[in-house]
Structures are given as structure tokens and as C-alpha cells.
Amino acid sequence: MSTLLKCQMRFARMVPRLIDKAHELGFGVTLGDAFRDKRCAYGHPDSYHRKRLAIDLNLFIGEELLADTLSHKPLGEWWESQGGIWGGRFGESRPGAGDGWDGNHYQWPDN
């Protein structure tokens, strides 16, 4: 079995835990991008969505969408503690990016 396939399978096992944790933290959840086909006009060409190793989640309190990165922080930090990579940290390496720029992005390492 290839390393990528093993990682994809591990990620698929972890996503339900991520969603369960979001509910435990009091959030409602809807799904955003998971797999992103190479024909898709947006996104980075090397996106982990294209590797089937990333998902975007939309968090809600009631019917209010929590679009800011800070709202995702408790879930993102939990995801990191499980071995995942949280997109809310992406901006920390980019000067002037503020509090991250992809807070609803949850990915799994491919190694």
C-alpha cells in the first residue's frame, strides 16, 4: 500500500472525530471543500485537497456562520494535538497576514 493511500485512509478515519469534536465544543458544522479536482479553477495547484488530505469545515453557532479564523482556534488546536495541520496557522509565517488566512482548513500530513 502506498504511503499516500495510507495517509488518505488515516485522514478519512480522523475527519469524523474532527466533526464530533466540533459538536462537543458546541458548534454546528457543514462541509466545505474536501476533494478538489485538478480542473477546479481556484485553489493552489499543490493543494492537499487535491491529494484527498484536506477538508474545509464551516462552523456555526445557531444559524450564524463563524467565518473568522479565531472562531476555529479551539477546534484547530485540538486537530493539531491529534497530528493534523490547521490552516489557521498558515498566516503566522506570512508577514502582515494577521490571525491566519485559512482557519476553516483542516489537513493531514502526507508523510
Q: How many domains does the chain have?
A: 1
Residue with cell 488518505: 8
Residue 11 near residue 52 (C-beta atoms within 8 A): yes
* pLDDT score at 93: 55
3-state SS assignment for residue 2: coil
* pLDDT score at 37: 82
- Say what the pTM is: 0.88
Structure confidence by residue, pLDDT tens digits, 91-111: 665 444 445 578 999 999 998
DSSP string across 26-72: T-EEEE---S--TT-SSS-TT-TTTTT-EEEEEEEETTEE--SHHHH
Q: Which domain holds residue 57?
A: 3-37+46-107
* pLDDT score at 60: 98
Structure confidence by residue, pLDDT tens digits, 27-49: 999 999 998 888 888 888 888 99
